[in-house]
Every structure is written in structure tokens, then in C-alpha cells.
Amino acid sequence: MNRAVMLRMAALGTIGLGAALLMAALLLSTYTSSRIAKIPLDIDATLIRQGTGSALDSASLSGDHVVVNQNVPLVSQQQVTVESPANADVVTLQVGTSVRRTDKQKDTGLLLAIVDTVTLNRKTAMAVSDDTHTGGAVQKPRGLNDESPPTAIPLRHEGLAYRFPFHTEKKSYPYFDPIAQKAFDANYDSQEDVNGLTTYRFTQNVGYGSDGKLVAPIKYPSLYAGDEDGKITTTAAMWGVPGEPGEQITMNRYYAAQRTFWVDPVTGTIVKETERAYHYYAREAMKPEVTLADYKVTSTEETVESQVNTARDERDRLALWSRVLPITFTAVGLIALVGGGLLASFSLRTESALTEPGLDRDDTDYFRRAGLEEPVPGAEAETEKLPTQRPELPAHPESPPPPSPPASSSVEPPPGSGPPEPPPAERT
């Protein structure tokens, strides 16, 4: 295989590699990047929020009247895990949320507990539900001494839940509240920095106005058939309200909340959250009488740092497939195309050189003529070939040439040498 063929094959291979890299860059920046911008399937997070508020003392329920303690330390905990179904299109999140008093031990400090399950579209982060599929469920509350297995009650979910979509926009999104069992708008407020990460701030009002005043509280939707936890009847003395001590008074439970989310706009991860919630009993919705829990909690620094790191990891994963690899493949592909073009040019020059006279010249002659090597004087200069001179013939070929003199007469002794020595005499 001569040099021209080898260069031509190398040129074709390099050009093919460059074209393949450019095609891969195009696919990564369009098709692949859109397919990886999805909610991960390996979510396992514990989110902690702390604060203070007013809370009902559960020990007072066995006394003469209920007691509400002020300025008690509270902690809210969310445990987020992935359950089935979880595949290329959807992910199911199971989120257990509890609010407890840290100045009480065990169950005596538990104020609220709910286990919510929701199936989300991995691209849009919207709940997957219709008239035949609820898209989620809520576990039925159990008493303190109830050891029966938890019962999941199907509950239709709508809107976002526990995160925002990838490439979050500056607009309003419906965000589901599992306690109110319906979605409320989360409105874009501003852009803020959280631990070095640029985030979008959203605010959701459930029963509150934008000024933080109670405007339309939600009647608590009980998960019991008899509405046992949504309506309670007891004496006026027990309620601690004016009237005859033995008078039976029925009060309904109401709920309102105000939430602020700090969202990473690239991945939709909620990196920080503040929640103000108000649970109370009243005979009229706008006239609270007995507080069950009135508190405000905010994500701890450890939780914020963990969520920011999670958002950064997801950002890096997206950047790798949508920017870093496409840019790298494009640059290398262009270099390969240029290199292949140069090799193709050299192969043409080599092929034309091999068809010219002087095929017995070595490689140095070709590269010197191609301008790739400077001539070396002396050692590699070409040797001029001189024609061989023929002997001259006599004018008359029939005349014999003159005789050559005898060899003895043409040989002269070297200078300085005497006459030859006589041979030694024979003995008689």
C-alpha cells in the first residue's frame, strides 16, 4: 500500500470522526438534554424546619378545660422517599410530615402528622390524575394507641407537589396542599440569593390575604366518615368560653397557611421554605376561639445547605449533557474536519508526485518539493551524471597503429638506485 492510499484512508477516517462528533453534539443539545431534565428517581431526603408558636397542651384534655401554651419551640419534619410507580415518565413521592413540640416527650408533643403520596410527571412536576386515577392518597390518621396498619385513602392531587418543574418560570403555579386537599396558586415574588445560588421566590396563601390577614379559612376536610377530627362537641367550660359551664357547644376546625418557597429555577428544587400555619376551632370561620396550633417554621441551615448541594448536583448533570459535552464534541469535530481536509490535500499531492518522472527518488525529494522540508546543502545535493567519453578513432582506420616500444626500454630505474647486483658465483 503506497503513501497516497494511506493518507487518503486517514483523511476519510478523520473526516468521518469529525462528522460523527458534530452529529453527537447536535443530539446532546436537543434530544438528550430534554430527556435528562427529569425529576430523579433516587430521592431520599429529610427536611427540617424550626420555629415557635402557640400550641394546645394535649395533657389538658383530661382536665377541666383546654390549655394553650404560648411561644413553645416547634419542629416540622418531612421525610421524602420514592415509591412505586416510578419509571421513565412518572415518579411517586411519599412524604411524611409531622409537627411537634420539642418541650414535650414522645407522642405528648405531637401536634400534626400526615402521610401524603403523589405521582408526578417527571418533566412538568405536575400531579398525574384524571377522573379514573386520583394521582395520590393520604393515610388515615390513627389514635395514639391504635396499632392497626395504616389505611390509605385515595385523594385526587392537582398541580405541583413538593417541587417545581425544571426551568421554572417567573409566573404563578398551582401548588397542592394536602391538608386543604386542593391546589392554591404559588405566585412569583422576586429573585434572591440563597447560599450563593440564585433562586426564585414564590408565595402561596391558603386562607390568608397578601397582607397576612385571615380572609377565607378552609373548613378542615376530615378523613373520617363521621368527621370526628373536623367537628368537636364539648362543654363551654371545657372550651374555656363564656356561657353556662355545662352547655354543649359544637365547634368546627379551620385551617389557613402561608408558605414561601425559594426555588432553584434550573432544576425546580425547593432549597428553602417558610411555613406559617393556623389550626383553630370556632363556631364562625372568621372568629377563632380555641387554638390548636399557630406557628411559623423555617428551614434549618443544614437543610438549606443540603438542598442547595442537591440543586447544584442536578445542575452539573444537566450542564454536562446540555453544554459541556456538546461544546467539546463540536470543537473536536471541527478540528477533525480541518485535519481530515489537510490529510486529503496531502494525499492528492502525494498521488500526483508519484505519477511524475523520477520515481527512483526517495521520500526526501517529495517533502522538499511539497515545501515541508528545507534542502540540506552538500550532503543531500543531487549528483550530476556526466556522459562517458569514448576514445577517438584514427582518421584512416586501415592504417595500423604505430608499434609500442619494448617494455624494457620504457621502464627506467628509480632514481638513486645503482646497477643491479650480479648473482652469486657457484661453488666448484
From residue 23, alpha-carbon distances to 20, 141, 321, 335 in Å are: 5, 56, 14, 14
Q: How many angstroms separate the CA atoms of 180 and 257, rounded? A: 9
From the list 5, 45, 2, 11, the residue with the least C-alpha distance to 338 is 11
pLDDT (mean) for 340-348:
71
* Top-confidence range, 7-21, 58-72, 159-173: 159-173
Provide the pLDDT for residue 391. 55
pTM of the model: 0.71
Residue 125 CB neighbour total at 10 angstroms:
21
Residue % of the chain over a pLDDT of 90: 48
Q: Compare 270 and 88 and report the one with higher pLDDT.
A: 270
- What are the pLDDT digits (tens) for 372-414? 455 555 545 455 555 555 555 555 545 555 555 554 444 445 5
Q: Find out whether 249 and 171 touch, Cβ atoms under 8 Å.
A: no
Q: Name the least confident of 110-119, 200-209, 251-260.
A: 110-119
Q: How many angstroms separate the CA atoms of 265 and 161, rounded? A: 16
Residue 241 CB neighbour total at 10 angstroms:
16
State yes or no: pLDDT of 1 exceeds 70: no
Q: Name the least confident of 96-110, 228-242, 263-277, 371-385.
A: 371-385
- What are the pLDDT digits (tens) for 88-137? 899 999 999 999 999 888 777 888 989 999 999 999 999 998 777 888 99
- What are the pLDDT digits (tens) for 211-228? 889 999 999 998 877 787
pLDDT band at 360 (very low <50, low <70, confident <90, very high): very low
Provide the pLDDT for residue 426. 47
Domain ranges of the chain: 1-36+313-349, 37-299
Mean pLDDT of the chain: 81
From the list 316, 247, 239, the residue with the least C-alpha distance to 280 is 239
pLDDT (mean) for 332-351:
73
Q: Compare 44 and 423 and report the one with higher pLDDT.
A: 44
Provide the pLDDT for residue 427. 47
Give bridge partners of residue 207 from the DSSP assignment. Answer: 257
User: Residue 418 corresponds to which amino acid?
Assistant: G
pLDDT band at 34 (very low <50, low <70, confident <90, very high): low
